[in-house]
Amino acid sequence: MTGLQPGPEPGHLMVPSCQSCGRAHWYPKPACPWCGGEWRWASVDGRGTIFTYSVVRRPFSPELADRLPLAVGSIALDVEPSVRLVTNFVDCPPDKLRVGMAAVPEVSGGTDEDRRINYRPVPSRE
């Protein structure tokens, strides 16, 4: 497995989880960054909180002009807040985003090559 992948259940993600201390981490490392133990891929609830974000309003490449404004940022997973994932935010006007807002993963694309995991902010926990 390479890169972030959706889990077997809707709204879940596959992340490295330590077999010794049980903590999740991102990105995959040779050993658990918390205790040095061995890890395995585990399905975890992908719900999280917006840790930070930025809104891109000027295209850095002409091909991307039609995607603007684009909201990008970092999500802290609820199951392990130290796990922070870089993501695009979808289905929310950029001016409505707030640090601390709840968000849920949205998977698009059907193959490994075109699959994307974005986050959709939600006004309250779903």
In this prediction, residue 58 carries a pLDDT of: 92
Residues of the chain with pLDDT under 70: 1-3, 110-114, 124-126
Domain boundaries, the chain: 11-45, 46-126
Average pLDDT, the chain: 89
Residue 62 φ/ψ, nearest 5 degrees: -55, -30
In this prediction, residue 108 carries a pLDDT of: 80
Match 């990105």 to its residue by tokens: 27
Cβ atoms of 69 and 90 closer than 8 Å: no
In this prediction, residue 1 carries a pLDDT of: 47
Q: What's the CATH number for 46-126?
A: 2.40.50
Instruction: Please tell me the distance from the alpha carbon of residue 20 to that of residue 32, in angstroms, as a whole number.
Output: 9
> What pTM did the predictor assign?
0.84
In this prediction, residue 10 carries a pLDDT of: 85
Residue 25 φ/ψ, nearest 5 degrees: -150, 160
